[in-house]
Amino acid sequence: MSAYTLLSDPEQRAVEEAIGKAELRTSGEIRVHIESKCREQVLDHAAYVFTELEMEKTKDRNGVLIYLSADDRKFAIIGDVGINSKVPKDFWEATRDEMLKHFKKGDICEGLCAAIAISGEHLREYFPYESDDVDELPNEISFGK
């Protein structure tokens, strides 16, 4: 499956809107990246994509990447060092579990939107939204091969 066809156009917009909404609660910046196949260990690869997308270029180092490969249905959610230095080790677990619950039912869009909403809610505690917020990273989904 091509990464582009995993989500329909309205679904892609729904994901982007979910990101916009979540970023009104937190200064954290959330991105979604979809590829067709993940050829290495998913966390390692997500970390690579994070750098490729230059997601470390946020003021508070609070970017969050949700990575998903369409064919093998691997996914990962990782945060930048600013987040990792503040949050408990199990910070992403609830988000990952919720995402997996939807993915198992084949609801990719809902899984992503739910994960984005929960991430925003959780991040808010450590990185509250600021009135002079800048949208530091694009909310559009990025696609790889």
Positions that interact with Ca ion (CB under 5 A): 29, 133, 135, 137, 139
Identify the three-state secondary structure at position 26: strand
- Provide CB contacts within 8 A for 65, sequence distance 6+: 30, 31, 32, 33, 46, 49, 50, 53, 55, 76, 77, 78, 79
If the CB atoms of residues 93 and 135 are measured against Ca ion, the closer one turns out to be 135
If the CB atoms of residues 27 and 95 are measured against Ca ion, the closer one turns out to be 27
Q: Closest approach of Cβ 79 to Ca ion, in Å?
A: 14
Q: Closest approach of Cβ 40 to Ca ion, in Å?
A: 27
Q: In whole angstroms, what is the distance from residue 74 CA to residue 123 CA?
A: 23
Q: Closest approach of Cβ 141 to Ca ion, in Å?
A: 12
If the CB atoms of residues 38 and 65 are measured against Ca ion, the closer one turns out to be 65
Task: Give Dmax (Cα) for the chain.
Answer: 41
Alpha carbon distances (Å) from 111 to 14, 53, 57, 134: 11, 22, 27, 26
If the CB atoms of residues 17 and 93 are measured against Ca ion, the closer one turns out to be 17
Q: Closest approach of Cβ 27 to Ca ion, in Å?
A: 5
